[in-house]
Amino acid sequence: MAKLWGGRFSADTNKLVSEFTASHQIDSRLYQEDILLNLAYSRALLSAGILKQDEFAKIEKGLQEVKKDIEAGEVSYSDDMEDVHTHIEHWLTLKIGEPAKKIHTGKSRNDQVVTDLRMYLLKVLPETVTLLAEINQIIIKNLCQTDIVLPGYTHLQKAQPVTLALHYGAYVQMFQRDIARLKDALKRIDVMSLGAGALAGNPFLNEQIRQKLAKELGFSAVAENSMDAVSDRDFVVETLAALSLIMVHLSRMGEELVLWSSEEFGYVQIGDAFTTGSSIMPQKKNPDVAELIRGKAGRVFGALQAVLVTMKGLPLSYNRDMQEDKEMLFLGLDTVLGSLQVLKQMLPEIKFNYEKMRNSTGGFIMATRLAEYLVKKGVAFREAHVIVGKIVAYCLEQGKRDLKELSVSEYQKFSAEFKDDVLSVVNI
């Protein structure tokens, strides 16, 4: 097939250039959106008087057949046709002839590509929201209905006792924020760029037709500036930023599962179906899924950085550099969806060693509670802090490893405010 833009050129495109510029390997996943767009846009051209009714009927039938051919694997892609959009127009032309040559009237790949991408995100991001909500429900049901006590950590040092519900409730909050961010991002994705043309608008679509077109494609709003419409990739950056924060949260959870499943902690056992062994050490049970979730976070962060670097120096309006956005966006989406899907399956298969958690709360973990006890007796907090610090130092000197090992009389050496009830205060 001749290039869509080939009329101005007298020489064929260098083969290496065709391979270098082709994007169908990446954007072929947009075929459903592109077929829907072409059908809706053809209907708009019908309303504008550019297409006749019989031409539109052929286009409609032809696009349906192209879709079936793609899904049946009966078509092949070529670097000579660059992207999925060109391929679909080519396949349609082979089926119906002349009417297919009219579907690009007033439409540029600049506004077509970005509209396809927005449609795709409007379809797949709700899947991510649903997965996050389902994971939250698993956490709430399995982990937040218990008052099991374990050490809470700061600086990876035992700090104060907390419940398992409080600990995993923190992840519920993180995922709720992730859901809110994605829903907020969807508001800015939900804007139709189609009708912007290459950059200066579309002379064939009036406002009424364009609003109707937006509604048919599932958009709530229409882009107000044609140059911004074709050159805006803020929504890609924003999506990748939201996905990056999801991976931050998943990575933190993965890190804790790696630590907690170690013999030194022994807080959890991950189900055999979600662990692997060693090729040389028969006893090993490795938390590879948690480690890979942690490791794959870097892919999404890198994708965000790549799009930011691509966009930061581009003049208005469209530039071919923007073709790189889809590979990065799809990488981020696939990584997050894959991580969420496996986590959803893995979480119910994790067994928690409540006894080990409870037994890890000895030592000086009740020191803050002891200082608060003195405050309630009228001692200034700063003074209470010093008193309890001296008690901890005393315990270490005496070889005592738990505040429960001190008698009331020993406590009273440090402050007369300590009474018999102090022993219940330091008992978890």
- Give yes or no for a cis peptide into 317 (omega within 30° of 0): yes
Task: Let me know if 76 is a catalytic residue.
Answer: no
- Bridge partners, 276 (sequence order): 286
**Alpha carbon distance, N-terminus to C-terminus of the chain:** 77
| DSSP structure string for 173-235 | HHHHHHHHHHHHHHHHH-EE-TT-TTTT--TT--HHHHHHHHHHTT-SEE-S-HHHHHH--HH
Catalytic-role residue among 10, 76, 155, 409: 155
Q: Which one, of 174, 192, 190, lies nearest residue 228 by Cα?
A: 192
C-alpha span between 288 and 220 (Å, rounded): 43
Catalytic-role residue among 78, 220, 262, 278: 278
C-alpha span between 208 and 212 (Å, rounded): 6
Question: What are the helix (H) ranges across 50-108?
Answer: 53-71, 84-96
Task: Let me know if 278 is a catalytic residue.
Answer: yes
In terms of Cβ atoms closer than 10 Å to its own Cβ (0-12, 13-18, 19+), residue 358 is middle
Query: Which residues are known to be catalytic?
Result: 155, 278
